[in-house]
Amino acid sequence: MDLGKLNNTRRAAVDLVFFNRVPKVGSQTFMELLRRLALRNGFAFHRDQIQRVETIRLAPPDQAALAAHVNSFEPPAVYVKHVCFTNFTQYGLPEPIYVNLVRDPVERVISWYYYVRAPWYYVERKQAFPDIPLPDPRWLKKDFETCVLRGDRECRYLEGETREGIGDHRRQSLFFCGHADACTPFNTVGALQLAKRAVERHYAVVGVLEETLAVLEHYVPRFFRGAADVYWGEMERFIRINRNMFKPPVREEVKDLVRANFTRETEFYQFCRQRLHRQLLALRLPS
């Protein structure tokens, strides 16, 4: 197994980590881990500001501005933002070290469904943006199983759709595919292939949080040295981050109904996990 082909860290032209974080994959926990590692390993930590509306797809001028903004930080540094994959070299800027996390796509949309219905979510939103209206109580009380079985609009995951107006980030692959129009149709082969290509060509490491730490320590040691010790040493603290006590269990048969519409999203998730396991094997580490 060729370790060089699996390690894109060597492609980076600057000592900057760009974590274009996917929502509801453990990214809040990972961000806190990065804060701790910044103190331990001597690099700067930066993140974007909380926004009223999260815009993850950017027009080319905004992509160029983002790339310039990230490159304005003195290396070594980390920058964190919810945004689609942005190819810095297209704008004449050095390639950073791209990292990200993924999660089972069905578990992820369930997590998002209850995340935006959690009481503390709206408390935080109202504190940041006082004029935001409160949602309909009936919507807040609606459970995921009812939403799916009743065929409500927000729980119909239709292949090829480009704009649902729901904002549930159902397209995990979009964060890797990029900003192009071809990336927006839900659960399509074209978007899947573009996302896979970006991971293979640009990302140092993409994986599930707990499984990723050993690979990060070896592939991106300047930033992730000691990551496993920090994470497991403070596990009780980390697992409490963004834990949603208001998320009830969802029956497997309901998950299976949803999963039938997430075939390419599931394939992308499995692709990322398989790549991570190949990286582990290349390092001769236990998987």
* Residues with a known catalytic role: 82
User: Could you give the CA distance from residue 12 to residue 59 in angstroms, rounded to a whole number?
Assistant: 24
How many angstroms separate the Cα of 216 from the Cα of each of 41, 212, 280? 14, 6, 10
What does the DSSP assignment read for 208-268?
Answer: -HHHHHHHHHHHSHHHHTTHHHHHHHTHHHHHTTT--TT-----HHHHHHHHTT-HHHHHH
Structure tokens at 30: 């990972």
Length of the chain in residues, anyone? Answer: 287
Report whether 86 contacts 63 (CB < 8 A): yes
Element at 16 (helix H, strand E): strand 16-19
- Would you tell me how many other CB atoms lie within 10 Å of the CB of residue 104? 20
What does the DSSP assignment read for 117-141?
Answer: TSHHHHHHHHHH-TTPPPPPHHHHH
Strands (E), 102-208: 203-207
User: Could you give the CA distance from residue 93 to residue 70 in angstroms, rounded to a whole number?
Assistant: 10
Q: Residue for token digits 């578990």? A: 107
User: Could you give the CA distance from residue 280 to residue 287 in angstroms, rounded to a whole number?
Assistant: 6
Round the CA-based radius of gyration of the chain to a whole number and report it: 19
